[in-house]
Structure 1
């Protein structure tokens, strides 16, 4: 793996390790949600009122605030 790719992967791993309740995320599949609970390698997110789904941490694509920052620039 080349250096820029390693840095990007390390940043993504750190982000996933620091996920917590209340974080707004976007999954790799493009689903927006708010974290309700983090259990080991699973994340339970609320996608709509009374609608929760369970995903793997590795399926978290980005934090919504990071995407908003990129789009503002």
Structure 2
């Protein structure tokens, strides 16, 4: 192998490593965190759907859940439709 070939191979390896640590690995961490959150959902949790609907979990099974929206409507959605758990809001006193 010539010096140019070794330089090219080293550059390609460094590019792949940079791509992995800057793009792939953080995405895997986000997916794992989302999966953990979805698996820990329970009745009574306050959630926000990916569509922006706020609600409280009324019932759930392996693949879906029923939420009661703030309007009082009951909605059934797949677990993947949950964007995040709504944390208790802290009110700021002035």
Give the counterpart of 1:58 among 54, 59, 80.
80
Structure 1 unaligned spans of 5+: none
Q: Per residue, is there more helix in 1 or in 2?
A: 2
TM-score relative to the length of structure 2: 0.66
What does the per-residue CA deviation read over 1:8-50, in whole Å, with 9 as the maximum and x for residues that have no partner?
A: 000000100110000000000100000001112001000033x
Counterparts of 2:68 and 2:56 in 1: how far apart (Å)? 5
Match of 2:34?
12
> Does the residue aligned with 1:2 lie in a helix, a strand or coil?
helix
Higher-Rg structure is 2
Q: Per residue, is there more strand in 1 or in 2?
A: 1
Give the alignment of 1:1-73 within 5 angstroms: 2-47=24-69, 48-49=71-72, 51-65=73-87
Corresponding pairs, count: 68
Counterparts of 1:52 and 1:25 in 2: how far apart (Å)? 13
Counterparts of 1:27 and 1:62 in 2: how far apart (Å)? 7
